[in-house]
Amino acid sequence: MRKPQLPDVGAFIKEQREQGSLSIRKLAELTGVSNPYISQIERGVRKPSAEILRSIADALSIRTETLYEKAGLLDRYEGPAVIEAIDTDDHLTRTQKQALKEIYSSFVSTDQEES
């Protein structure tokens, strides 16, 4: 009997890892999670804890909230999706994504302070 597939967080993690040119082994090293466990998450066999998702998000330079939403731990934010668009853009490198997110965040925090 086949195990049911968990939410698409695993496929998203795999996609982000591959876009960042990281091997499963390197992601495991960066997160402190074993290679087989990362593989099981990516295949939808295992459901990662919030703590592991946070470690993976940090290693992939993506928002923790994005992974929480994909895993069904957090309701999807329905406001502007700029950060998510940056995270999922196939044409940007990991470094470019991080730079764009920092720039966007600085503008948003400046706008909120001025309001």
Q: 64-112, pLDDT tens digit by residue?
A: 888 888 888 877 655 467 888 888 888 999 899 889 988 888 877 654 4
Which domains are assigned to the chain? 9-114 (1.10.260.40)
> pLDDT by residue (tens digit) across 43-57?
999 999 999 999 999
CA distances from 76 to 66, 67, 89, 98 (A): 8, 10, 18, 21
- Can you give the pTM of this predicted structure? 0.63
Under 8 Å CB-to-CB from 26, ≥6 apart: which residues? Answer: none
